[in-house]
Structure 1
Amino acid sequence: MFADKVAIAHKWITAGHSVTFVLRIVGVSRSTYYYQLTHEPKPRTTSGGRPATQYTYTHDGSKVSDEQVKEWIMNAVAGDGFAYGYLKLTYVLKREYQLVINKKKVYRLCKELGILKQQRQIKSKYPRRLARNRDIMAPNQLWEVDIKYGYVHGEDRFFFVRSYIDVFDRQTADYHIGLHCEATEAVDTLKRALWKRRLLDQSVLPVIRSDNGPQFVSLAFESTCEQLGIEHERIPPRTPNMNAHIESFHRLLEDDCLSRYEFESYELAYKAVVDFMDYYNNRRLHSSLHYLPPEFNKQHYETGLTPKTNVKESLRLR
């Protein structure tokens, strides 16, 4: 780098320009300039750095060939170190064979042996937005989501019910019943709920509030919320009161449906949950909604009717 700058400076200085002016322009000191002119650079004998040795020392000063070190590495990989990377293998060599060796050399030896483990893919992380107090004055402003477990006695297995509930009108925007509980299903249910409420093409979408379950902290769910322009907030650990409406709904699901029957098959459990959802959304009287079932939304848009309870107070951290 300095040699290139000195060569440029020398070209302009020999052309008659001021030494001080040229050196200030190229950023080279006067002493460096004259040193480079009077000293020939030494040719490099290697490609860079010290040449690699073919042996390693032990703590008592003995030399161990790299071929022996490679054999020890393979023995470790064939035994308890089958899942170790080069860093842990370095500690194995130090402790079991008293080698004076660093991780860089072990990396090189592992690379020569072709046993380097693939690096883990770093997943995108999304900032966690904590749930906060909100004034809920209309439908589709805040949805709460959670998962409820049911049991099929006749088949001795569990099934899952994932529900999105609108905090304002207490209706389930949509739900999913299945034998698996994966992030992709949470995404599909969310999109279906938005489609049912004709919100997919709207600029303002509901805030989604959830706990810290693996489905809701997953890359699939977070990236979908980001793509749709949805704000996803998560309640702090051990604060189910901040998801009070979905917790209350799932208690009703447990008391009025899941605990009433001993299901002999998954099909019977599925039908019972579907029937309960239809009853809850379309016929059940809600005391907080002036004992109105689906007519509540109609009267809200016509007359401005709001729930009897103070939604803001019910969402306050306790």
Structure 2
Amino acid sequence: MAQKKHKPEEIVGKLRQVDVLVSQGRPVAEAIRAIGVTAFTYYRWRKEFGGLKSDQVKRLKELEKENERLRKAVSDLTLEKLILKEAAGGKLPSPARRRRCVEHVVSKLGVSERLACRVLGQHRSTQRKMPVGRADEAALTADIVELATRYGRYGYRRITALLHAAGWAVNVKRVERIWRREGLKVPHKQPKKGRLWLNDGSCVRLRPEYPNHVWSYDFVEDRTHNGRKFRMLNVIDEYTRECLAIRIDRKLNSTAVIDVLTDLFVLRGVPGHVRSDNGPEFIATAVRDWIAAVGARTAFIEPGSPWENGYCESFNSKLRDELLDGEIFYSLAEARIVIESWRQHYNTERPHSSLGYKPPAPAAIVSPPPTSNPAQRPTMH
């Protein structure tokens, strides 16, 4: 028959009972038999609870429980510290990396999966449920990497537009996730420069309202492999953002400007305004008189204010960023072929952010009819 397990309060009461019997002159052995325990149990109780009262025993048990709780807390903190130290090889931004880290900690330290997930911030359902990738994930990733390699200056939004053009029904967030997973990025551009305002603080700007309303043109310089300079004359339609022509030669002057504009006027008609820089090639009397003779108006920008020719300057920066900075031209003929190929790509394939990520080909732009005669619009001085 199993012996009854006494509570601390009962033990203290029996010890006090023995003390009372002994004080009455009864032998200790008889007093011990009176409380129903053996002498060994009595002396063990006396060693552990001798001299204590019931309230003191209760307080002692509470302290023991508190000490046990503190020991367990310290033990848990030490274990959590070991887990974090084991996983301190780097950041864990993705569930996949946390999943692998949890598995490593469980196998290395022998802790439970529940504890490892709690310490490392991984939900247990995420840990248990393995991700099932889409069937087209590998093909989509390959296409994104291929496009990013071909167009090194395009971000994931423009890559998404190219994927849509190629027939992919993909969300931009999914492209961004794959983009970041593969470590793709566009290098930081140079910091922007402050605008140069006119003396009176105003900003005179003729804004295009329909195709062939305002054309603009500007020069860009580059060098062939042997160090010799060549120049490019870029002509764009500011409304459609289409690059109408890029004339390339070692030297370009006002005669070359008239030659290029003549071909474009015959092919596309005369625009309402022609915006240009105020350099010597453009302000030549022959160019100005010729433009006025064919029915267009000139719009020269203010000196030292290239931002007023912003559409053409933006195009020039894209040309240099996406082509010129990454190409070596061994001859002028090679430069003409490669740059003309890029111009065709820019007009027909390259997504333009200002056009809803559509190429700037005229067929992609729906323009309203002109509200008034372009010849009656004010010119820029």
Q: State the TM-score, normalized to the length of structure 2.
A: 0.42
Decide which structure has greater helix share.
2
Q: State the TM-score, normalized to the length of structure 1.
A: 0.50
Q: Which gives a bigger RCO, structure 1 or 2 (Cα 8 Å, sep 6+)?
A: 1
Find the structure with the greater CA-based Rg: 2
